[in-house]
Structure 1
Amino acid sequence: MTVIDNTHQRLLPVPAATVGPLLDRLGRPGDVLWPSPAWPPARLDRPVGVGATGGHGAIRYHVTAHRPGRLVEFTFDPRTGLTGTHTFDLLDHGDSCVLRHRLVATPTAWMRALWPAVVGPCHDAVLEHLLDNAEIAVTGTVTDPYRYPWRARLAARLESVHVSAVAVPADALALRSALPQPDLADAFAARIPPGATTDAQAWADAIFRNPPPAVTALLRLRNILVAPFGIARGDRTAFDTIIRTDRELLLGTDAGHLDFRASILVDAGDDDITVTLSTHAVARNRSGRVYLALIRLFHPPVVKAMLRRAAASRCLAPHPTTTP
């Protein structure tokens, strides 16, 4: 395969001196450019400077040139499958500046096949998301937000969002107090790289107000099927917030056939953020017991799909946490 020469750039309506400090925070605490949590965070073992070593995910590199506030050049570790460099630099453009990234490298071994199929589209998505982050960091908005193509969106979800079944957390005190002896109890946790919001209400809205289309279709079918049995149709009020504490957000409703509560806990660690969605339900009568028996079959995949979609939507939006 021929040499890859790939360039991404963005005109920013501020002087280079405003953007320069962002370059010098790459891979370090306070980095607002790198699009984490959509992708594994970029990390360097020391402040940006010649000799600093690090990478993101399986891609490893080290700094081989640095002009503070102007340029950072990284050279790939040969084991990455790329021989060459990728460079960020700032170009003056009157009262504005251009933030540019250029990758010039020769793919080797397995990267010859992976670059055009997977790595290249993901690289393009990472850089356009990064440029969105730069624009919002210096202007407060993004004029034309980047839209992920399907391959990059799928790769980002697989790379950054991990959902698994867990025990109902001991810290879910509001949930345990509301329905202490549930007929149905389960919990699922999404682990994502640092950088996403830790606001439980924002997560509740992302999970319950914007479910996957397939889940929306299932809920509509559910409303049709349960009507002959005297079970109330579900609506958005079932996911209204009931209690909010420092550690937990509790949602739910009481219906004629069952009582339902959902708890959201958000834990921010050094390496990731964990969002745990726990559910308790108590049947009130025979209809409720039959309903729960059916729900047990669909509840786990539905909840996991909702949690995964919410995590992906929160990850893929440009959202630097600080400004220079």
Structure 2
Amino acid sequence: MRAVRNVHERIIPAPADCVGALLDRVSAPDDPIFPTPVWPAMVLDHPLGVGADGGHGRVRYRVTAYVPGRSVRFDTTGAAMGQGYHRFDVEPLGAERCRVVHILELTMPVRRFLQWKTAIQPVHDTMIEEVFDNIERGALGRPPHAPTRRRPRALLVNWLFWARPRAVPVPSHARLLHEDVPRPDFADAWRLPMLPGMSRDPRDWRHVLPFPVRGTADRELMTGKDASHLDFRSSIVIEDDTVTLATAVRLHNTRGRLYFAVAGLAHPYMARLMLRRAHRRLAFTARPAGERNAGASADLRPGGEAPVTGAQAQ
């Protein structure tokens, strides 16, 4: 067995009560500090408090200690990270300064320790520093002076473990697609979860497929192209918690059937690839949680400033 102790801390030039109010909202629907959607959201089965179970990604834990506005401790309950805990603490350093500390202490087998050193620690270190960035955004109403730079190894792990589309029936509410191709010769659909902070506007998903737009609706954007041998349409369909890429093809003649007999073999792979690529790109360009969810703590900032948006910061 090997022991791990990992400590991050940062001085925040804001009152401890302001920072503590942000900590109290971790895992809430409007969580202002966890760095979603680039990294997995923290999800608990109850509001933050002793006994709440949950985790982020494959890491599972339970809240075992909680002092509102000051401290919260999570003890691991699964094997993904070994046995131990992680915790956040907010320590006042006077009226207008505080220290935020994150401590991780684990005991794990040698094999798990090697995984920690090679793949998990770079992601963990990046996530915690981005948590601190979001605390600064929420507490100060502006971006951090030196935002965290994501390490190449962390980005590689992020790419490797990014969600992969799963096959689903063509959504019945893909109205544009059904109206344009009511009796397709081929149809399929691929779906990914919609992550916190990602755009629900189908127009922002325009570049999943590089073809002309053939129609838009509140939650659907359809692209497509007509040719002498076949017509195809692809729709991005947005629901509250999912995004779906649905495709319908209409074949006109023998040439179209021969062409699609070959192209149809590559289509599922290409559809999954392009949806996953757009999904990850939009996650990385989403506004940070500390910017989009910080409003509820604005009245605790010095002077009660409103949060600074990305556009204002630029």
TM-score (norm 2): 0.76
Distance in 1 separating the partners of 2:143 and 2:231: 43
Distance in 2 separating the partners of 1:141 and 1:71: 24
Count of residues in Structure 1 that have an aligned counterpart in Structure 2:
290
Q: Deviations over 1:274-305 (max 9, x none)?
A: 21101123345665554433321222111111
Give the conservation status (yes or no) of the 8 Å contact 1:83–1:108: no
The 5-angstrom pairing of residues 45-56 of structure 1 reads 45-56=45-56
The equivalent of 2:310 in structure 1 is: none
Distance in 2 separating the partners of 1:59 and 1:52: 14
Distance in 2 separating the partners of 1:309 and 1:55: 25
Could you list the runs of 5+ residues in structure 2 that have no partner in the other structure? 297-314
Pair 1:182–1:146, CA change in 2 (3 A): farther
Give the conservation status (yes or no) of the 8 Å contact 1:14–1:97: yes
Q: SS of the residue aligned with 1:123? A: helix
The 5-angstrom pairing of residues 179-198 of structure 1 reads 179-191=181-193, 193-198=195-200
Is 1:292 aligned to residue 293 of structure 2?
no
The 5-angstrom pairing of residues 258-297 of structure 1 reads 258-268=230-240, 273-283=241-251, 288-297=256-265
The equivalent of 2:124 in structure 1 is: 123
1:165 to 151, 164, 167: 167
- Give the % identical residues: 38
The 5-angstrom pairing of residues 161-240 of structure 1 reads 161-191=163-193, 193-205=195-207, 207-208=208-209, 236=210, 238-240=211-213
Q: Deviations over 1:209-251 (max 9, x none)?
A: xxxxxxxxxxxxxxxxxxxxxxxxxxx5x243x3222332222
Q: SS of the residue aligned with 1:298? A: helix
Give the conservation status (yes or no) of the 8 Å contact 2:36–2:196: yes
The equivalent of 2:35 in structure 1 is: 35
Give the conservation status (yes or no) of the 8 Å contact 2:133–2:148: yes
Could you list the runs of 5+ residues in structure 1 that have no partner in the other structure? 209-235
- CA shift for structure 1 position 45: 3.9
Is 1:322 aligned to residue 290 of structure 2?
no
The equivalent of 2:299 in structure 1 is: none
2:224 to 252, 256, 259: 252
Q: Alignment RMSD, CA only?
A: 3.2
Distance in 1 separating the partners of 2:171 and 2:78: 44
